[in-house]
Chains A and B, each alone.
Chain A
Amino acid sequence: MYFQLTEEQKLIRETVRSFAENELAPLAAERDENESFDRELMFDKLAELGLTGIVFPEEYGGAGADYLSYAIAVEELSRVCASTGVTLSAHLSLGANPVWLFGNEAQKQKFLTPMAEGSKLGAFGLTEPTAGSDAGGTRTTAVRDGDEWILNGSKIFITNGGEAETYIVFARTDKNAEKHHGISAFIVEKDTPGFSFGKKEKKLGIRASLTCELVFENCRIPLDQLLGEEGKGFKVAMKTLDGGRIGIAAQALGIAQGAYEEALKYACERKQFDQPIASFQAIQFILADMALRIEASRLLVYQSAWRASAGLAYGKESAMAKLSASETAMWVTTKAVQVLGGYGYTRDFPVERMMRDAKITEIYEGTSEIQRIVIGSTITRG
């Protein structure tokens, strides 16, 4: 076991932290307030930093770094702006990564490279009103018609929806096949006729991140935009989500770290009963538990990232990382509001935003319940 970051990983942390503190932090509260997605700041600048394709090979426009570097980048962005963290995570893990994992060479050239370079933003359309935790409930259909597939249906809660240029969309291609077997994955580009955007969600948190409905009405896409094998879309989705969990776990970790630092700083400054509240055991114990839970989660997140890059199985580990980090984020942010007291409930301090942002990490890309199922079924399989 070797617990030190490499020079490259350290450099990435410093670079992203400096960008996050200098450029993302100042208007994070305003973006939250106005529900405004600032593409230039929240995506184009990430491309300049080489983050939009950080884990992919340079030949596909990536930076050739490892998953741990990616996790560190998402962590650092989320430490000050969770909406930016999820924008990158959804783009890279859910939009670009399935093309890397399942695309043929032509698809990689055409779709992965622009996403990795950051000239195109990626998104992932799996969830439907009746297919949340149960992706097998997918009702969107794709019917073969000559040289094309015709998509019909709708997708909800799609991160980066509306702004993204490239979407990985799941649809049922075989109505007769059993639940999970008749689903296929497709690459769909924005502005394809028949593809439009529905309602933009109003959310508790990550309000600067876009969450939108996708609508397909006789949307025709060429055959060569089928991703992976026909009927194997469920596997594409599950493999993609294994990796996606690393991104969301890192996002949750960053939120927790940000809130912990705010609480720590405030506790050392705030005086009540003639002393800094940090001198009270009740507050010290909260801070100690925060630091402990964050560190444990960080090790789980980094371990799953390391396993992904080392070519080891990481489905269970990324589920553990996501479960632990997201529940830690919720706990830490809630306690941070408590440490800041009445101030913590106001928008003068960022912890109330962090608390609202944290909640979704227990829900999206597999709820905590689904993570427990993944872990439980893996360890009982023997």
Chain B
Amino acid sequence: MFLDLTEEQNLIRETAREFAAAELAPVAAALDRGEQVELFLDNLKKLAELGFMGLNVKADYGGTEAGVIAFSVALTEIARACASTAVTVSVSNMVCEVIQAVGSEAQRLRYIPKICSGEFLAGAFALTETGAGSDPAAMTAVAVRDGDDWILNGSKIFITSAPYAGVFIVWAVTDPGLPKGKGISCFLVEAGTPGCIVGRAEEKMGQHASATNEMLFQDCRIPCSALMGKLNDGFRVAVAELAGGRIGIGSLGLGLGQVAIEQAARYALERKQFGQTISNFQAIQWKIADATTELEAARLLLMNAAFRKEQGKSYSKEASMAKLYATEVANRACYEAVQIYGGYGYTSEFPVERYSRDARITTIYEGTSEIQRLIIAREVLRSYA
């Protein structure tokens, strides 16, 4: 076992940390209030220029080729300053990775360099529908072949980065005659394609700076070259190729939990009640001890999942365990941090209030905790069957 970061991983972590401290942290509260949206987009571009949009993507396509561990530590550092930026970066990275894994050489060359360079501010996934959340196979969006084209119809919800994504990976039913989940395919749809419409923006509890919109496809005509991967193999792509995203979201959660509890510890050392700093009280010490222990375990689960993915080993169960655990302990850490700050923690004067709102979605998106448990249980039971 070697549990240290390599020099390259360390360098990426330091670069992310410096950028986050200099550019992201100072504006995070304003972004949360819905102000200075242009800075959010500027920062995405700068992050792309620093190589953060294709961390685990081959240099041939403009990626950084730094690996999955580097991706994880970068996400954690970014999330410590701004979770909205982190989720956007995570999703764009995964869009690149999925195109690299499933797309044709032409598709890779057409889209990945644009996301990696920042020419596209983001990439997006359009999978979820109103009736298809944890159960994506229940989707109703359809793609019908018409000569050399496909015609897409349907709507998708909760699409991260929709208003500024350059390309969407869209799932749609291509053969309704096949059993559930068997007739779904994956398409690459460019922003601006007629009939590809960005819909209503969600009003959310947290991660306000990250856009979450409905996407409407109304007789949206795309060429047959837009099909990504094999026909009717889309559900497998959704289930298997998105596993890496769980490492991203787990890493994001870790960053939020870490920063919340670190700030709470500093506050506990300063705050005096009953004639002494509250850090002297065991009740406070134990909250900090528990949260720090849980976060450290979460970090190791993430590193393990990232390491396995990097080594080409199976990592789906490990990614689920890491996402489940990291996001749940991150929520606990954020809420305990609010508790340590007391009344002050409930106000927007201290960032723990924002962290606690931002953390909440992490146990929901990219596979709820329930779905992660399902994946873990299924794999464990299969190994004993």
Contact = CB atoms under 8 A, between A and B. Distances in A.
A204 B356 contact: yes
Contacts of A274: 135, 138, 180
A346 interface: yes
A367 to B, nearest CB: 6
Interface string A251-268: 000000000000000000
A274 B138 CA distance: 8
A344 B364 contact: yes
Contact of B345 (A283, A337, A363): A363
B360 A355 contact: yes
Given A204-B356, A272-B135, A367-B342, A345 B370 contact: no
A156 B272 CA distance: 16
Given A204-B353, A272-B133, A352 B205 contact: yes
B346 A346 contact: no
Interface string B130-152: 01111100100000000000000
Interface string A326-359: 0000100010011001101111100010011001
Contacts of B284: 369
B343 A347 contact: no
B361 A345 contact: yes
A342 B353 CA distance: 20
For this complex, into which size category does the number of interface residues on chain A fall?
A: 35 or more
A203 B365 contact: no
B370 A282 contact: yes
Kindly name the residue among A134, A342, A346 whose own CB sees the greatest number of chain B CB atoms within 10 A.
Answer: A342
A360 interface: yes
Interface in A115-152: 127, 130-134, 136-137
A368 interface: yes
B274 A346 contact: no
Contact of A356 (B132, B205, B368): B205
B217 interface: no
Given A334-B331, A356-B357, A367-B339, A272 B346 contact: no
Q: Is the contact region of chain B dominated by helix, strand, or loop, or is it mixed?
A: mixed
A345 B205 contact: yes
A203 to B, nearest CB: 5
A362 interface: yes
B273 A338 contact: no
Interface residues of B, number: 45
Most interface-central of B157, B284, B331, B353 (chain A CB within 10 A): B353
A315 interface: no
B343 A204 contact: no
A132 B343 contact: yes
Contacts of B331: 334
Contacts of A132: 273, 342-343
A372 B342 CA distance: 15
Contacts of A341: 133-134, 364, 368
A201 interface: yes
Given A133-B342, A272-B135, A337 B360 contact: yes
Contacts of A157: 343
Contacts of B135: 272-274
Contacts of A334: 331, 360
Contacts of A306: none
A345 B365 CA distance: 10
B360 A203 contact: no
Contacts of A283: 370
B338 A359 contact: yes
Among B157, B272, B273, B356, residue most surrounded by chain A Cβ atoms (within 10 Å): B273
Contact of B205 (A156, A355, A368): A355
Given A342-B364, A345-B360, A355-B360, A205 B346 contact: yes
Contacts of B364: 337-338, 341-342, 344-345
Nearest to B202: A346
A364 interface: yes
A133 B296 CA distance: 30
B35 to A, nearest CB: 14
A363 B335 contact: no
Contact of A345 (B204, B272, B338): B204
Nearest to B331: A334
B283 interface: yes
A271 interface: yes
A369 to B, nearest CB: 5
B178 to A, nearest CB: 16
A190 interface: no
B136 to A, nearest CB: 9
B27 to A, nearest CB: 17
A39 interface: no
A202 interface: yes
B373 interface: yes
Contacts of B38: none
Contact of A342 (B128, B342, B346, B348): B128
B320 interface: no
A342 B205 contact: no
A271 B131 contact: yes
A274 B204 CA distance: 28
A104 B364 CA distance: 56
Contacts of A369: 281, 283-284, 339
Interface of B: 128, 131-135, 138, 157-158, 180, 202-206, 272-275, 281, 283-284, 331, 335, 338-339, 342-343, 345-349, 353, 356-357, 360-361, 363-365, 368-370, 373
26 contacts: A131-B273, A132-B343, A133-B342, A136-B274, A137-B274, A157-B343, A201-B346, A201-B347, A201-B349, A204-B347, A204-B348, A272-B138, A273-B138, A274-B135, A337-B205, A337-B360, A341-B134, A342-B128, A342-B364, A344-B364, A345-B206, A348-B202, A352-B360, A359-B338, A360-B346, A372-B283
Given A348-B202, A352-B205, 18 more contacts: A33-B203, A131-B273, A133-B274, A133-B342, A137-B274, A203-B348, A204-B346, A205-B346, A272-B138, A334-B331, A334-B360, A338-B363, A346-B202, A352-B360, A355-B360, A360-B346, A367-B342, A372-B283
The 9 A-B pairs at the shortest CB distance, nearest first, are namely A134-B273, A272-B135, A352-B205, A347-B203, A202-B348, A134-B274, A157-B343, A204-B353, A273-B135
